């Protein structure tokens, strides 16, 4: 027991330590906000895509179908998202668009800025395969679902003009995904691997140098970004979303992974940890894009980020990591 606690401590210390350093650097104004934004752009547009490319180009994929992993993960997303949506509309009287933002906040894990660094710290590069299978699908699926539901919600709330255009929605989703650096890294690494190109020499040196920077830079940038969101009134909905995101969602994922699909313990641990990650910044980006639910998204990002300092080590302990 003591040995496991010590191991967990050494896993979470560098992860949350770097987040804390980034937060303090921004909060104390030691570094200006523009530095955090620039570092975040580097992580999102360069470092993480190259890490994804490298991992997918060189990974050995076991003979395991990814569908049980995906169904386990998105089963937890669906339940947490639906309950948060219903809670905001029925309990707090918010409109349909705000309910969608609540759903995104309760179901969209910060798998890139926190999930990837945490899994790589806990499991090494071996953890890259299951988490990249999640990241590769989470982004396009949840962005597509969010866009469709927001469009539907605007018509339901009476704030949209004209009929719903499935072709227009599909075009918007496709353009956003094609231009997304993470998607480019995923597709590029997969294509490189399938083509049988080698990963050695100068390409390997360059890729490894940038990939090594991805994890610490992502955590530091995440810490700096937290000062931007803060807590903006009406805290109770975000507290309930926090419980859904950090407790219920990973619990459902764990049950599906172990009791329904009998995933290997290692894959079960990774998918549960990703589900237990706090709300991703995508919730804020979506709320900002559709001009609604800013307080819901900001409060959820801040509170889940703070509470995950306690809940993530507990999940690591429960999973026997």
265 touches 125 (CB < 8 A): no
Q: In terms of pLDDT, which residue wins out, 286 or 246? A: 246
Give the model's confidence band at 310: pLDDT under 50 very low, under 70 low, under 90 confident, else very high: very high
The reported pLDDT for the residue numbered 166 is 67
Q: What is the spatial distance between Cα 254 and Cα 221, in angstroms, rounded to a whole number?
A: 29
Class of residue 158 by CB neighbours under 10 A (exposed 0-12, middle 13-18, buried 19+): exposed
Give the model's confidence band at 157: pLDDT under 50 very low, under 70 low, under 90 confident, else very high: low
Give the model's confidence band at 70: pLDDT under 50 very low, under 70 low, under 90 confident, else very high: very high
Residue 63 has pLDDT above 80, yes or no: no
Give the model's confidence band at 103: pLDDT under 50 very low, under 70 low, under 90 confident, else very high: very high
| Average pLDDT score over residue span 266-289 | 88
The reported pLDDT for the residue numbered 75 is 96
| Average pLDDT score over residue span 61-68 | 81
CATH 1.20.1530.20 for domain 2-318, yes or no, is: yes
Residue that the structure tokens 């009134």 belong to:
233
Which of 2, 15, 27, 61 shows the shortest CA–CA distance to 302? Answer: 27
The secondary structure of 103-152 as a DSSP string is HHHHH-B-IIIIIHHHHHHHHGGGGHHHHHHHHHHHHHHHHHHHHHHHHH
| Average pLDDT score over residue span 167-189 | 77
The pTM is what?
0.85
Specify which residues 109 forms β-bridges with: 279
Specify which residues 315 forms β-bridges with: none
The reported pLDDT for the residue numbered 253 is 97
| Average pLDDT score over residue span 290-313 | 87
The reported pLDDT for the residue numbered 33 is 84
75 touches 272 (CB < 8 A): no
The reported pLDDT for the residue numbered 251 is 97
| Average pLDDT score over residue span 124-144 | 81
* Measured CA angle at 224 (ends 223, 225), to 5 deg: 90
16 touches 220 (CB < 8 A): no
| Average pLDDT score over residue span 14-20 | 86
Q: What is the spatial distance between Cα 232 and Cα 239, in angstroms, rounded to a whole number?
A: 12
Average pLDDT, the chain: 84
The reported pLDDT for the residue numbered 112 is 83
Kindly provide the b/e burial profile for residues 237-255, where b requires at least 16 CB atoms within 10 angstroms of the residue's own CB.
bbebbbbbbbbbbbbbbbe
Long-range pairs for 141-145 at CB < 8 Å and ≥24 separation? 141/74, 142/77, 142/104, 142/107, 142/108, 142/282, 143/173, 143/176, 143/177, 143/282, 144/173
Domain definitions of the chain by residue range: 2-318
Residue 3 has pLDDT above 70, yes or no: no
321 touches 7 (CB < 8 A): yes
Specify which residues 279 forms β-bridges with: 109
């Amino acid at each position: 027991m003591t040995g496991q606690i010590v191991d967990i401590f050494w896993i979470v210390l560098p992860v949350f330590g770097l987040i804390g350093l980034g937060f303090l650097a921004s909060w104390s104004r030691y570094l200006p906000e523009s530095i955090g934004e620039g570092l975040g752009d580097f992580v999102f547009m360069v470092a993480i895509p190259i890490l994804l490319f490298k991992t997918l180009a060189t990974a050995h994929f076991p003979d395991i179908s990814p569908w049980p992993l995906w169904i386990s993960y998105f089963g937890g997303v669906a339940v947490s998202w639906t309950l948060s949506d219903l809670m905001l509309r029925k309990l707090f009287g918010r409109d349909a668009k705000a309910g969608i933002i609540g759903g995104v906040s309760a179901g969209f894990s910060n798998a890139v800025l926190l999930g990837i660094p945490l899994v790589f710290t806990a499991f090494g590069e071996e953890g890259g395969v299951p988490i990249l299978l999640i990241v590769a699908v989470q982004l396009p699926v949840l962005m597509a679902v969010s866009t469709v539901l927001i469009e539907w919600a605007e018509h339901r709330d009476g704030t949209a003009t004209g009929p719903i255009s499935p072709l227009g929605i599909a075009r918007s989703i496709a353009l956003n995904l094609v231009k997304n650096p993470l998607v480019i890294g995923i597709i590029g690494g997969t294509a490189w691997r399938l083509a049988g190109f080698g990963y050695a020499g100068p390409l390997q040196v360059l890729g490894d140098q940038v990939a090594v920077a991805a994890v610490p830079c992502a955590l530091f940038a995440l810490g700096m970004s937290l000062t931007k969101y803060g807590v903006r009134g009406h805290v109770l909905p975000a507290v309930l979303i926090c419980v859904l995101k950090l407790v219920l969602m990973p619990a459902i994922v764990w049950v599906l992974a172990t009791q329904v699909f009998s995933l290997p313990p290692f894959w079960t641990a990774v998918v549960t940890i990703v589900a237990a990650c706090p709300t991703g910044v995508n919730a804020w980006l979506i709320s900002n894009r559709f001009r609604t639910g800013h307080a819901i998204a900001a409060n959820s990002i801040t509170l889940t980020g703070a509470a995950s300092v306690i809940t993530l080590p507990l999940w690591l302990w429960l999973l026997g990591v």
